[in-house]
């Protein structure tokens, strides 16, 4: 079985990953506490995955420096914010923008679009209220919640996440 390096700059997130790896007895995943946008592995990776992370320009720069094979970018493909419902343009980290930039750069790529349930769980109504206060959205936030029957997370905000999968190949790295 191959090895996986999980590059993340947040040490708390890596601590959670390390606990989960230990609980599941997974030994081929190696956490690395660095910023992926400046990270330089000892040897180029065979593949890289960017999941809802970075603009396509940032992904291309990191992949050019770190990867000699397949790059998979999972990017948002929606016109509205999932929680607030506010409209947003295609700029930045969107599927449309990523495809346009790759085409302009002459990079061959394949795509697929899909969606999945990306519900937001809450431990309490107070946690939900704080969430909506932070992320905005419908003033009648309580009506958007559903009861789950789960004692740990009794409430959730149903949400679908529209996304695009973009796959392309890198050369031998820098």
Q: What is the pLDDT of residue 159?
A: 87
Share of the chain above pLDDT 70, in %: 89
20-30, pLDDT tens digit by residue? 999 999 999 99
Q: What is the pLDDT of residue 89?
A: 60
Q: What is the pLDDT of residue 94?
A: 85
Q: Is 70 within a domain?
A: no
Supply the range of the domain harboring residue 146: 119-158
Q: Is 151 within a domain?
A: yes
Q: Is 114 within a domain?
A: no
- Say how many domains are in the chain: 1
Is the pLDDT reported for residue 74 higher than 70? yes
Q: What is the pLDDT of residue 156?
A: 96
Q: Is 20 within a domain?
A: no
What does the radius of gyration of the chain's CA atoms come to, in whole angstroms?
19
Q: Is 132 within a domain?
A: yes
∠ CA 133-143-81, nearest 5°, is 50
What is the rounded distance in angstroms from the CA atom of residue 31 to the CA atom of residue 44? 16
pTM of the model: 0.79
Q: Is 138 within a domain?
A: yes
Q: What is the pLDDT of residue 173?
A: 46
Q: Is 21 within a domain?
A: no
More confident residue, 144 or 78: 144
Summary mean pLDDT of the chain: 89
Q: What is the pLDDT of residue 88?
A: 63
Contacts of 87 (CB under 8 A, 6+ apart): 79, 80
What is the rounded distance in angstroms from the CA atom of residue 127 to the CA atom of residue 34? 31
Q: Is 61 within a domain?
A: no
Average pLDDT over residues 3-20: 94
More confident residue, 161 or 101: 101
Is the pLDDT reported for residue 130 higher than 70? yes
Instruction: Give the pLDDT band of residue 83 (cuts 50, 70, 90).
Output: low
């Amino acid at each position: 079985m191959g090895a996986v390096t999980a590059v993340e700059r947040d040490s708390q997130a890596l601590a959670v990953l390390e606990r989960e790896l230990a609980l599941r007895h997974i030994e081929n995943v190696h956490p690395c506490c660095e910023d992926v946008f400046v990270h330089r592995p000892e040897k180029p990776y065979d593949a890289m995955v960017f999941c809802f992370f970075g603009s396509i320009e940032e992904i291309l720069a990191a992949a050019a420096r770190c990867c000699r094979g397949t790059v998979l970018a999972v990017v948002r493909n929606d016109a509205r914010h999932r929680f607030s419902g506010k409209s947003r343009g295609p700029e930045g980290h969107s599927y449309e923008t990523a495809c346009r930039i790759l085409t302009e750069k002459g990079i061959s790529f394949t795509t697929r679009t899909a969606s999945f349930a990306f519900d937001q769980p809450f431990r309490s109504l107070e946690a939900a209220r704080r969430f909506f206060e932070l992320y905005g959205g419908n003033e009648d936030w309580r009506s958007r919640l559903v009861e789950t029957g789960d004692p740990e997370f009794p409430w959730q905000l149903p949400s679908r996440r529209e996304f695009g999968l973009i796959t392309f190949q890198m050369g031998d790295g820098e």
